[in-house]
Every structure is written in structure tokens, then in C-alpha cells.
Amino acid sequence: SQQGEEDPQALSIQEGENATMNCSYKTSINNLQWYRQNSGRGLVHLILIRSNEREKHSGRLRVTLDTSKKSSSLLITASRAADTASYFCATAPGLYSGAGSYQLTFGKGTKLSVIP
């Protein structure tokens, strides 16, 4: 079942602008992760934020997490044409018990287009 829902579904920006994508989820989480997928390829892990963290940075990426609103955002600063890809959020369940705790639940993704 889908837990994370990304918003918007598609985003088109000019090179150099910032891109913001949002993710909402429904149940308690242990952590939330963001992945990137270039067209027709596998997903690549970008960043993980734990439920007790509010903000995390990695290079041009900034992720925030608001557990009270059950939402997260991914900000890509100074975007480049190479950032063109689909971005997915994925949630890990809040209680690590049983085989189900090993799963991640992925959203449907935001398709980002960065125009040179």
C-alpha cells in the first residue's frame, strides 16, 4: 500500500533555480528517505532523515521533516540540467518488529525537469 505521496507530480524549472518537492505520509515512521531515478534506470539513495531529526543537508540537498504534520520536503538548490529525474520519498515503519519492518513504502514520485 502506498504511504508516501509526493507533491507536485511534475515540476519544471530553469537551471539555477531551486526545486522543492513535498512528501506526506500517514503512519508513524522510523525514518524517511529520498531517492532519485534517472529515466529508465534504478533508484539511487539520496538522503535519510530519522524521525527525531528536523533537518538534514547533503551538498545541494536539504531535507526537512515535520512529524506532527507527517510531511517532509526535499529542496535542491541551484538546480542543474543533470538534476532532471524523478524523485521518490520512502518511509520506514515506526516499530522495528517482524519481517515487515524491513520494508520501505515508496510514493509515486515527482518528475523534475530542469531546463538549461
Partner 1 sequence: DVKVTQSSRYLVKRTGEKVFLECVQDMDHENMFWYRQDPGLGLRLIYFSYDVKMKEKGDIPEGYSVSREKKERFSLILESASTNQTSMYLCASSLNPGQGYNEQFFGPGTRLTVL
Q: Which of 14, 68, 69, 100 binds partner 1 (CB under 8 A)?
A: 100
Q: Could you please report the per-residue DSSP string of the chain? A: ----EEE-SEEEEETTS-EEEEEE-SS-EEEEEEEEE-TTS-EEEEEEEETT-SEEEETTEEEEEETTTTEEEEEE-S--GGG-EEEEEEEEESS--SGGGG--EE---EEEEEE-
Of 84 and 86, nearer to partner 1 (C-beta) is: 86
User: Mask of contacts with partner 1, 55-94, x by CB under 8 A?
Assistant: ---------------------------------x-x-x--
**Please, which of residues 11-40 interact with partner 1 by CB under 8 A?**
30-31, 33, 35, 40
Of 31 and 64, nearer to partner 1 (C-beta) is: 31
Q: Which of 14, 42, 68, 116 binds partner 1 (CB under 8 A)?
A: 42
